[in-house]
Amino acid sequence: AQSVAQPEDQVNVAEGNPLTVKCTYSVSGNPYLFWYVQYPNRGLQFLLKYITGDNLVKGSYGFEAEFNKSQTSFHLKKPSALVSDSALYFCAVRDKAGGSYIPTFGRGTSLIVHP
């Protein structure tokens, strides 16, 4: 069975500093990995995905993520954090089962960017 782990409930970073939100995964087949962001009282918004190809994936709002197969990780990064990046971030994996790509989400990491 597939699973996603986000080891940190909360990440605190100062504005202007680089940020990393961690994600590790476990799948039986090829990993299809996603990051989503959720602002308060809103639905999730897609940030970026890894399907195949380059291990460094660039996404919306200056975010990027690095796929590391040997460490089964897909950490989300941004070179310079903004206060407006403060939100809840979800890592997700889709693994094929019975002909469908079933999505599984991590428990979420709350990112707090301090001015």
Q: Which residues bind another protein (CB under 8 A)?
A: 32, 34, 36, 38, 41-46, 49, 51, 88, 90, 94, 96, 98-105, 107-108
**Minimum distance from residue 37 beta carbon to another protein (Å):** 11
**Minimum distance from residue 16 beta carbon to another protein (Å):** 27
**Minimum distance from residue 66 beta carbon to another protein (Å):** 18
What region, left, alpha or beta, does residue 16 occupy, with left being phi > 0 and alpha being psi -120 to 50 degrees? left
Torsion of CA 76, 108, 68, 81, to 10 degrees: 10
Q: How many helices (H) and strands (E) does the chain have?
A: 0, 12
Q: Between 49 and 75, name the residue whose CB sits nearer to another protein.
A: 49
